[in-house]
Amino acid sequence: MENAKLGTKAVWAGEKDYLVHGATQVPVVLSVAYGYDDLEQWYEVATGKRDGHIYGRNTNPTVQSFEDKVKILEGAEAATSFSTGMAAISNTFATFLVPGDRIVSIKDTYGGTNKIFTEFLPRQQIEVILCETGNHEQMEAEVLKGCKILYLETPTNPTVKITDIERMAKAGKAVGALVIVDNTFATPINQTPLSLGVDLVIHSATKFLGGHADALGGIVCGKKELVEQIFDYREINGATMDPMAAYLMLRGMKTLHLRVCQQSKNAIALANYLKTEDLVEGVYYPGLEEHPNHHIAKKQMKGYGGMLSFSVKGGMNMVKELLPRLQFANRAANLGAVETTVGPARTTSHIECTPEERAAMGIPEGLIRVSCGIEEIDDLIADFKQAFAYVNRG
């Protein structure tokens, strides 16, 4: 398994130890508790001296199989999962941060994460410094002043800005900070932050890992000693992944490599096509040479991912006319699914912000986020073409 390529690992990794009765697929174990006739054995499992399961809030075989698969794809020592991506993020912060700590991050994190930074952490006397996304000098200067955590997300939502992971991991290391990357947009198929020097990788498994918009989940991977601390917090806090969700994740992940490769191919083709439409003001995609940090994306990513955004002339009024015309796109808040999904930034990633705040963040009111699905690209382009033709009809 170790020498196999990513696409092969996505299919096979993490499953073998959990198969029973000759089944070729991992079973969904719904049992809440695990019984022991031998009380001594029960005690040994409960105290961690022997492998096994005690109670579903702590561990579950189906959930562990999912954790093992992601762990192997990310090249991590350990992984622990959660009920949602936000649970993964907030439990990780709760594990390591205490009043008086300082955390450095970027302005463009996921909306929920941003809310933790601007409201919840300050309430607990934790100082949060949010730097301009992509301004590495500013980030380095803030990190050098000392911090407990350096938290990154790259590419970001919705304008797909890029941060140099290796460079920032070095800066974090220099001051003994924990360096954490939300790898949801890239997936381990396109980017493995642990190999670039970071300590922990987080995913909203709800998105690309699951891939079918039918299960919620989150996961944190990295050094065993760190992941164990997060697990200790999570098993008490109770934000445990459901076994049925874990099964859907496992099933979805078998095609992760196929899906993400197709989505990345679709995204670059769609981005190039969108540039040719008169109504389009700007196209944001790290795979485009004109993207301000394309050179960094090229260095740290294998593919540029399925997420792109573009802005249209005429602002929100135009967005309202254009999006309902699309046949092969869900107008919805999720991303990373097999179906293409579109939505205005002001309704999806940045709904918490005022128009002024969005403008300050460089998010035009006419910005549309696109999560490319696995459809055939000719159909996607034809679909956008007919929608533009409709709004251009005069």
Ligand X SMILES: *Cc1c(COP(=O)(O)O)cnc(C)c1O
List active site positions. Answer: 57, 110, 182, 207
d(CA 308, CA 266): 10
Cα 181 off chain centre by: 9
Q: Give 248 or 280: the residue with its C-beta nearer to ligand X.
A: 248
**242 belongs to the binding site for ligand X (CB under 6 A):** no
CB 208 within 8 Å of CB 88: no
Q: Give 69 or 322: the residue with its C-beta nearer to ligand X.
A: 69
The contact mask relative to ligand X for 199-238 (x = CB under 6 A, - = no) is -----x-xx--------x-x--------------------
- The tokens describing 328, both together, are 């092969």
Binder among 73, 86, 200, 322 for ligand X (CB under 6 A): 86
Q: Give 68 or 153: the residue with its C-beta nearer to ligand X.
A: 153
- Give the range of 54-62, 82-90, 117-125, 316-324 binding ligand X by CB under 6 A: 82-90
Q: Give 293 or 348: the residue with its C-beta nearer to ligand X.
A: 348
The contact mask relative to ligand X for 159-198 (x = CB under 6 A, - = no) is -----------------------x-xx-------------
Binder among 110, 208, 231, 284 for ligand X (CB under 6 A): 110
CB 10 within 8 Å of CB 254: yes
What contacts 192, CB < 8 A, 6 or more positions away?
A: 74, 75, 183, 201
- The tokens describing 213, both together, are 């918009």
Give just the sign of the alpha carbon dihedral 253, 254, 260, 266. negative
Quote helix, strand, coil % in the chain, to nearest 5: 40, 15, 45
Q: Give 155 or 280: the residue with its C-beta nearer to ligand X.
A: 155
**108 belongs to the binding site for ligand X (CB under 6 A):** no
The least distance separating ligand X from the CB of residue 20, rounded to whole angstroms, comes to: 29
**371 belongs to the binding site for ligand X (CB under 6 A):** no
The residue type found at 271 is: A
Rg for the chain (alpha carbons), in Å?
21
DSSP H or E run through 168: helix 165-174
Please provide the DSSP assignment of 93-105 as one string: HHHH--TT-EEEE
The residue type found at 50 is: R
What contacts 297, CB < 8 A, 6 or more positions away?
A: 155, 162, 286, 287, 291, 304
- Give the range of 81-89, 121-129, 298-306, 367-375 binding ligand X by CB under 6 A: 81-89
Binder among 52, 75, 112, 362 for ligand X (CB under 6 A): 112
Binder among 101, 153, 164, 365 for ligand X (CB under 6 A): 153
Binding site for ligand X (CB under 6 A): 84-86, 110, 112, 153, 157, 182, 184-185, 204, 206-207, 216, 218
